[in-house]
Chain A
Amino acid sequence: MSVQTYTPREFHRQAHDALGNPQIRGNFRKAMDGLMTKRRDSFGDWDLETLRELGANIRLRALAKLPDLLERLEANCQANGIRVHWAEDGEEACRIIREICQAHEARSVIKGKSMVSEEMHLNAHLEAAGIEALESDLGEYLVQLNEQTPSHIIMPAIHLNTDEISEILHEKTGTERTRDVDYMTAAARQQLRERFMAADVGISGVNFAVAETGTLCLVENEGNGRMTTTVPPVHIAVTGIEKVVEHLRDVPPLYALLTRSATGQHVTTYFNMISSPRKEGEHDGPKEVHLVLVDSGRSRIYQDDELLDTLRCIRCGACMNHCPVYTRVGGHAYGTTYPGPIGSILSPHMMGLEETRDLPTASSLCGACGEVCPVKIPIPDLLVRLRREAVGEGRGNVPGAGVKRTRKEAAAWKSYQWLATHPGAWRSGTAVVGRLKALMPAKLGAWTEYRTAPEPAGRTLHALVKQHQADKPGGRTPDKEERR
């Protein structure tokens, strides 16, 4: 299957295309407006700041103890009969999963939603090995039928509207063209039920992995996650190493934050907690459960005190729902598995700054993302940190650091520095303006294509203040230079 691909290298072009597509613009605007309202309403009478504080502290505590908790998670999972695997990168994780499938002579895999599996392009890997991987989350299913990737981490098909979805289902599965959402949903239910029954392996993600009990928690509304983890004889859960939490009691506050932040729901339909494969005497559930723990750059992020905060993320998507840039260009424009603000602070670590050079700047630093983040990740500060890394003024802890450094721009900022630290020169206002313009000579055109450029005032505030002080009774006369 050829999947429509996007790449962060082409961010500008992809954003340009999205901005010019009224359908995309309309779909995202409508969806994001609705999600923002629902989130706000859902926290209603909660003491949100206290809850966020707790959420942040739970995640920080887990990160502080991360290696110990991973070992504890492993030991408790194993004691419960869950087999634990470790993968340094996506390729290794894909290989581990493929080998489990092959050991069971699996031909058909059914998947619950897992962004980590998207991150490692698991479906393509399995298909290359002759194993069919079918997405079962309705949004993921639609996106897969349409040969696309998700455009949002919670709502994968949010870029599509009802008519487009009707057309996709009609074309790929032979359903009637309709605007009846119940009809389309029922059709998908019918199609996927067959596949659940036939699947040899179910693959899911994990929302929280509890070290204390060896429990894998999955959050969902549809029931496909429960199907995926209960119907096939083998269940493989795949997750990033940062998803571990210490205690079971850490889960309720994070779950409360996750559902409200993500979709404005006070709770999801299902909260599915899996602690072992089918035990002796039990009548359903998989006989084998595997947990694949994936690093893929996370342990590198972990090294740096500031970057570490990136790993607090519980993947709610609120930052993208509230991002004015994401709302305009949609998820595909970013060309990364994780779009929007969280993607822009996470993807550079996974793909390198060379690939993702335009993402840290793709934000007006308006702060909406940081304001709504349920675990208080200082996203704007991290964007600035990555901008530093990109121009070679950081600590070099990100792959591709320094890739955006150009002698011209560095020199421009040096001359800005010189001017702004030489007040005498600065005060000769017009000269300052002239020289600042040199910062981005080629690009001022872009400003004036949409806006009238500001005209430098004849006199600077410095000069006006001197005049103002002189005009006051007993004030001193400004000198000639300042009067100019």
Chain B
Amino acid sequence: MTPVKCYPPRPKKVYFFGTCLIDLFYPDAGLDGIRLLEREGIEVLFPQDQTCCGQPAYTSGYQEEARAVAAAQLDLFPESWPIIVPSGSCGGMMRTHYPKLFAGTPLEKKASEISGRIYELTEFLVHVCHLRLEDRGQPEKVAMHTSCSARREMGLAETGPALLAQLGQVELVEQERAAECCGFGGTFAVRHPEISAAMVEDKTLAIEAASAERFVTSDCGCLMNIGGRFAHQKKALTGEHIASYLWRRTS
């Protein structure tokens, strides 16, 4: 777990690191995150040369490849603005693993400096922006799935629910074993598909059993996994990235 972080005052500008999953599959979630920040009067810088944090290679054991990819991101944030990542998984990679990944290399200092500026989106909205939300949506029961990286690597079990709690018409329901992994785990879902399937099956059943009409998550890996399972079963229950959900209901 990361130690308690001292949060800075609200900055004028931030960098936005969109993550590859959002880039390719859920670009709207990224844009909605940017809009939420801009609405707070913050200028959002989106370095067009960003690609991927390197995590897929890193967790697969391809550390050289991961380091090369990560190194390519380190030059994208030259000024001292915070770097906002709409994913606990990629945020955890950049905050927790970058310093280790570059330990003993010439980029060690730079990687540590960058990692100290990484904030997961909901973390930043809660602790730095002190975001206030006005709900304009219909009454709805929603379950939150906090990703394991956000929860454990970044210590952010509370930020997503704290934001949802501000939506007056939204009833946040808690699914059984809320802290348990949905079974995505990046390449885990590919290497051990049956186990992963058993896990996501239990997760979808728990969300349904909580009478949720929708689930939100702060990680697109979980969204793809849980949402994909619901869709495969042709269930009406759908999921959404928390950035999109917040933006949609408050704009």
Contacts and interface: CB of A to CB of B under 8 A. Distances in A.
A and B touch in the complex (CB under 8 A): yes
Contacts of A363: 185, 188
Contacts of A186: none
Contact of A416 (B56, B193, B229, B232): B56
B117 to A, nearest CB: 20
A324 B203 CA distance: 11
A461 B232 contact: no
Nearest to A323: B181
A50 to B, nearest CB: 14
A394 B175 CA distance: 40
A443 B190 contact: yes
A460 interface: yes
Contact of A429 (B24, B153, B177): B24
B28 interface: yes
A450 B197 contact: yes
A367 to B, nearest CB: 4
Contact of A324 (B16, B56, B180): B180
A364 B185 contact: yes
Interface SS majority for chain B: helix
B61 A447 contact: no
B60 interface: yes
A128 B40 CA distance: 76
Interface of A: 12, 15-16, 19, 25, 33, 324-325, 328-329, 358, 361-368, 370-371, 384, 386-391, 393-394, 410, 413-414, 416-417, 419-421, 423, 426-427, 429, 432-433, 436, 440, 443-444, 446-457, 459-466, 468-469
Given A371-B1, A391-B62, A466-B48, A366 B185 contact: yes
Contacts of A459: 27
Nearest to A465: B46
A32 B104 CA distance: 41
A388 B67 CA distance: 13
B140 interface: no
A19 B198 contact: yes
Contact of B232 (A15, A25, A386, A452): A452
B36 to A, nearest CB: 13
B190 A429 contact: no
A58 to B, nearest CB: 20
B202 to A, nearest CB: 8
A470 to B, nearest CB: 13
Given A367-B153, A391-B61, A420-B72, A460 B27 contact: yes
Interface residues of B, number: 70
Contacts, number: 204
Interface in B196-251: 196-201, 224-225, 227-229, 231-232
A410 B60 CA distance: 11
A423 B69 contact: no
B50 A423 contact: yes
Given A324-B181, A452-B232, A454-B25, A365 B61 contact: no
Contacts of B158: none
B61 A388 contact: yes
A446 B190 contact: yes
A444 B58 CA distance: 20
Nearest to A381: B100
B68 A417 contact: yes
A325 B48 contact: no
Given A423-B51, A427-B48, A367 B190 contact: no
Contacts of A390: 61
B46 to A, nearest CB: 5
18 contacts: A324-B181, A361-B191, A363-B185, A364-B188, A364-B196, A368-B148, A371-B1, A390-B61, A393-B63, A393-B64, A417-B65, A420-B20, A426-B51, A450-B201, A451-B225, A451-B232, A452-B227, A462-B46
